Amino acid sequence: MKAYLISDNIDTATGMRLSGVESIVVHEKNELEKALDNLLKDKSIGILFITELLSNKYPEVIAGVKLVHKEPLILEIPDRHGSMKRADFITSYINEAIGVKL
């Protein structure tokens, strides 16, 4: 099983390549859709990383893929600038999911 990265940042792509993860850099919606179409055909890819900024820029594309395809597992990762999520993201996520304040 392989991992792959779709990034909007060449520095993040370079860092992941140094760790052995193949990657592609895209900036436009049509480039993202084309990359996803090609990667979804490759059944050896088990994990697909997408930078948070790119995922937040085109949420409908990512959500559409997640709804239709069980594999690969799609994970959002921060780029070199850090995470865009709040510091208490996990706690608030649990609070919303189960309705209990931790």
Whole-number pLDDT of residue 100: 64
User: How would you write the pLDDT of the chain (102 residues) with one tens digit per residue?
Assistant: 899 999 998 988 998 899 999 999 999 999 999 999 999 999 999 999 999 989 889 999 999 998 998 889 998 888 766 555 665 655 665 666 676 665
DSSP reduced 3-state for 42: coil
Query: Are the C-beta atoms of residues 50 and 61 closer than 8 Å to each other?
Result: no
Q: Take residue 95 and report the two structure tokens written for it.
A: 């609070």
Between vectors from CA 9 to CA 7 and to CA 22, what angle results, nearest 5°? 45
Query: Are the C-beta atoms of residues 2 and 23 closer than 8 Å to each other?
Result: no
Whole-number pLDDT of residue 33: 93
Q: Take residue 13 and report the two structure tokens written for it.
A: 């792509």
The DSSP symbol for 53 reads: H
**Considering the entire predicted model, what is its pTM?**
0.76
Whole-number pLDDT of residue 9: 87
Note the helical H segments in 50-88.
52-57, 59-68
Reported as type and span, the H/E element at residue 25 is strand 22-25
Identify the structural domains of the chain with CATH numbers, from first to last: 2-98 (3.40.50.10580)
77: which strand partners? 51
Whole-number pLDDT of residue 82: 57
